[in-house]
Structure 1
């Protein structure tokens, strides 16, 4: 059975942090303010930070899987511009393959208060493909040139980014001002601008290198990731720890130590072991599976057509998963309107449903079919049968998947969603876990991605496993590769597999 890829939500959060990495360091609330420079200089330059930048090791469930470097300073030889540098390296073993991603960003801002973002360079290497994006931001718009080896350059013109220099170091600015700071970060992967908010938290005392010190604390949340990020720094402005929930942490280290990584096998580290196998019924259509879980926050416990929840004592929740074909009386013809406002039909820089090759293939696959469900099944089956299942061939954009014609669950789902949207079928990627019993015979959930399409009602399909209906071994917790689900890794547990649900009514 093809191994699935659990790295997407984790990488999504880690890469997103690069845009806000300087945000994670700040002076403590009780520290004296440094002497102000010129009145025309942004507060982002008035706060203390280690000269020459900082190195931090990145840990997943106490295993080191990467490191990042961050710095913010005036552009050498200039007093009117600021450069922010952030670089992430992520490396882990998946089965017999090594997955490695390098993501580096350099951003230039005006140095004055509320100085605007002027330009950026984003470089990506390794897992997901090699590319360089060069952006120029003016009040008239954001112009981005995408460069890839052996391919022609691509030009994309977007609305102007409202990002300011204070957004590159929100947390320090928030503590300096003793006030909440709100702003915008233009994401270095999807080029969309997201609101970012930082609030000052009460200071804490901790042991740092054997000495008890008072640490400043601030919390940053992006509307994209929705994962509270807590940063702790000394009175000298040294960032000593950053917490991304209980799953991931970054710790201050020397460059040499930060680059010394553990050998981490991600599947074994992040899987959710079950106390016994799921019943055969879970793989039938219609089918059902019932479990008792812990570590599932209330915000994830929302009943829908596939998943029902019953709260139990001691933080446990009974989860009933069900799978069935959509009702024939609900099916509609092509094209369909998005029942949720339009985002599920939108072409994006990642889900390129407006790409000429994807539009052409979608038309070929759908042909003269008018029934949306039948068309969706054709697309799902084609992706399942024609993409080579290869973990080491990741791609971050649908057109890249189509060009290389191989990948794991994320590539299968990304291409399927792009083809569905191009056919006029609202669709999105679904993130969660899928039940498998691998070579070691241990029943477990593994992190996975599949597809949800609207064909008159919502239905889930799995192009990785060629399932026209994703069976009841699929437990969904998020959408579109969003890192909001990352804190579940290592926290979500299955304590019981049941043969049938309890008689207790749902909420």
Structure 2
């Protein structure tokens, strides 16, 4: 059985924290020699902090899977500019493959209060492919040059970024001002802009080297990730700990210790073991599954045409999953209007539905067919049969997936969504878990990604397993690599698998959406 990749939401969170989580940026305070007058520089340069950058080990469920390096300082020879450097390395075993990724970005800002973003460089290597983004920002727009080995450079011109220098370190600025800080970050992975807000919480005592130390506490949340990130800092500005929900944590360490990682098999570490196997009907279409879960926050309990929730005592919730074909009376002809206003037809640097090769293939697959569901099924079949199931051939861009024609669930879903959007079908990726029994014989839910297409009504499909309707073993909890779901890893439990007769609130047919 093909193993799916649970690292996608983890990497999504880690990368977003580097480009959209300013609490990790560091900078030495200006000195009397070589710095402008205090009134002429941003508060980001006035707050106390260690010089020379800091190292933090990255832990997933208390296992070491990577590290951060962060630094921010005046640009040498340019007293009116600030440079922020963030680097993240992720390394773990995923199934039988070693997954390793390096993400590094360098941003330059004006040093004055409210100084604008001038430029940034993003470098990615390892799992996901290699690329370099070189961006310059001016009032007239953001110009990005994308460079990849062996391929011609690509140039994108986007609206100007409104990011300012205080956004490079909102946590310290908020603690310095003793007031909330709000701004906008231009994400280094998808080049979209997202609002980011930091608030100051009551100080807390934390153990540092066996000694209780009173810490400043700042909480940052991004419009993109929606994961509350809590940073703890000493009165000297030392970043001691950063909590990314209950699952991931960064801890201040020396460089040598930060780079010393555990041997972690993420696939098995993050799975959700079931008390028994799911019934056979879960694999059928129409099909149905009923489970009782704990550790599922209320915000995830939003009933849809596929999933229904019934609250039970003691924080338990009954989850009913239903898989069925879309109704023939609802099907629409191409192109299909997006019920969400166009977001699910949008092309960007990741989905690339405007790429010439992707558009050409989408047109070829559609042929003379105008029925959206028929074309969607053709795309599912093509991706399922033409992409080699290769757990070690990851790619973060749809055009790269098409070129290498291999990958796991994330590559299958990404290319499928790009082809569907190019064909005029609103589509998006779905993150969640899927039922599998691996070689150890343990029934469990594993992190997985599939797609949802709007063909007149929403319907979920799985290109990895060539399913025109994703069966009722698929439990979705998020969309488009949303890092918000990482809080469920290690917390979500299945305490009971129910038979049809014992279900408390089974839906009767599709509720629509």
TM-score, normalised to structure 2, is 0.96
**Which residue in 2 is equivalent to 1:156?**
156
**Which residue in 2 is equivalent to 1:379?**
379
Question: In the aligned structure 2, how far is the partner of 1:201 from the partner of 1:26?
Answer: 20
Question: In the aligned structure 2, how far is the partner of 1:260 from the partner of 1:391?
Answer: 25
Question: In the aligned structure 1, how far is the partner of 2:154 from the partner of 2:445?
Answer: 39
* Alpha-carbon shift at residue 201 of structure 1 (Å): 0.4
**Which residue in 1 is equivalent to 2:218?**
218
* Alpha-carbon shift at residue 254 of structure 1 (Å): 0.1
Question: In the aligned structure 2, how far is the partner of 1:192 from the partner of 1:21?
Answer: 14
**Which residue in 1 is equivalent to 2:308?**
308
User: Per the alignment, do residues 282 and 291 of structure 1 end up closer, same or farther by CA in structure 2, a change over 3 Å counting?
Assistant: same
State the Cα deviation string for residues 382-403 of structure 1 (Å, max 9, x = none).
1000000101111111001000
User: Per the alignment, do residues 232 and 223 of structure 1 end up closer, same or farther by CA in structure 2, a change over 3 Å counting?
Assistant: same
**Which residue in 1 is equivalent to 2:32?**
none
User: Per the alignment, do residues 404 and 26 of structure 1 end up closer, same or farther by CA in structure 2, a change over 3 Å counting?
Assistant: closer
Is 1:502 the equivalent of 2:503?
A: yes
Is 1:56 the equivalent of 2:62?
A: no
CA contact (8 A) 2:308 2:506 kept: no
**Which residue in 1 is equivalent to 2:70?**
70
Question: In the aligned structure 2, how far is the partner of 1:396 from the partner of 1:79?
Answer: 37
User: Per the alignment, do residues 240 and 36 of structure 1 end up closer, same or farther by CA in structure 2, a change over 3 Å counting?
Assistant: farther
1:171-250 mapped onto 2 (5 Å cutoff): 171-250=171-250
**Which residue in 1 is equivalent to 2:467?**
467
**Which residue in 2 is equivalent to 1:114?**
114
State the Cα deviation string for residues 327-380 of structure 1 (Å, max 9, x = none).
111111111100111101111111111111000000110100011111100000
User: Per the alignment, do residues 434 and 79 of structure 1 end up closer, same or farther by CA in structure 2, a change over 3 Å counting?
Assistant: same
Question: In the aligned structure 1, how far is the partner of 2:192 from the partner of 2:391?
Answer: 27
State the Cα deviation string for residues 201-256 of structure 1 (Å, max 9, x = none).
00001211011110000000000000000000111111110000110000000000
CA contact (8 A) 1:310 1:505 kept: no
CA contact (8 A) 1:25 1:231 kept: no
User: Per the alignment, do residues 180 and 342 of structure 1 end up closer, same or farther by CA in structure 2, a change over 3 Å counting?
Assistant: same
* Alpha-carbon shift at residue 441 of structure 1 (Å): 0.4
**Which residue in 1 is equivalent to 2:31?**
none
* Alpha-carbon shift at residue 21 of structure 1 (Å): 4.9
User: Per the alignment, do residues 154 and 461 of structure 1 end up closer, same or farther by CA in structure 2, a change over 3 Å counting?
Assistant: same
**Which residue in 2 is equivalent to 1:457?**
457
**Which residue in 2 is equivalent to 1:481?**
481
CA contact (8 A) 1:288 1:320 kept: yes
User: Per the alignment, do residues 504 and 390 of structure 1 end up closer, same or farther by CA in structure 2, a change over 3 Å counting?
Assistant: closer
Helix, strand or coil at the partner of 2:464: coil
Structure 1: gaps spanning 5 or more residues? 28-34
**Which residue in 2 is equivalent to 1:366?**
366
Question: In the aligned structure 2, how far is the partner of 1:503 from the partner of 1:175?
Answer: 49
* Alpha-carbon shift at residue 19 of structure 1 (Å): 1.7
**Which residue in 2 is equivalent to 1:357?**
357
CA contact (8 A) 1:101 1:126 kept: yes
Question: In the aligned structure 1, how far is the partner of 2:19 from the partner of 2:135?
Answer: 14
1:304-343 mapped onto 2 (5 Å cutoff): 304-343=304-343
CA contact (8 A) 2:300 2:477 kept: yes
**Which residue in 2 is equivalent to 1:30?**
none
Structure 2: gaps spanning 5 or more residues? 28-34, 508-513
CA contact (8 A) 2:295 2:491 kept: yes
State the Cα deviation string for residues 105-144 of structure 1 (Å, max 9, x = none).
0000000000000001100000000011000000000000
Q: RMSD in angstroms over aligned alpha carbons?
A: 1.4
* Alpha-carbon shift at residue 76 of structure 1 (Å): 1.1
Question: In the aligned structure 2, how far is the partner of 1:173 from the partner of 1:2?
Answer: 47
TM-score, normalised to structure 1, is 0.97
Question: In the aligned structure 2, how far is the partner of 1:154 from the partner of 1:435?
Answer: 40
CA contact (8 A) 2:203 2:216 kept: yes
Question: In the aligned structure 1, how far is the partner of 2:90 from the partner of 2:25?
Answer: 21
State the Cα deviation string for residues 443-485 of structure 1 (Å, max 9, x = none).
0000000010011111010000000100000000000011111
CA contact (8 A) 1:24 1:230 kept: no
Query: Between Structure 1 and Structure 2, how many residues are aligned?
Result: 499
Is 1:40 the equivalent of 2:37?
A: no
Question: In the aligned structure 2, how far is the partner of 1:229 from the partner of 1:51?
Answer: 23
* Alpha-carbon shift at residue 77 of structure 1 (Å): 2.0
**Which residue in 2 is equivalent to 1:395?**
395
**Which residue in 1 is equivalent to 2:86?**
86
CA contact (8 A) 1:20 1:169 kept: no
**Which residue in 1 is equivalent to 2:510?**
none
Helix, strand or coil at the partner of 2:44: helix
Question: In the aligned structure 2, how far is the partner of 1:95 from the partner of 1:14?
Answer: 20
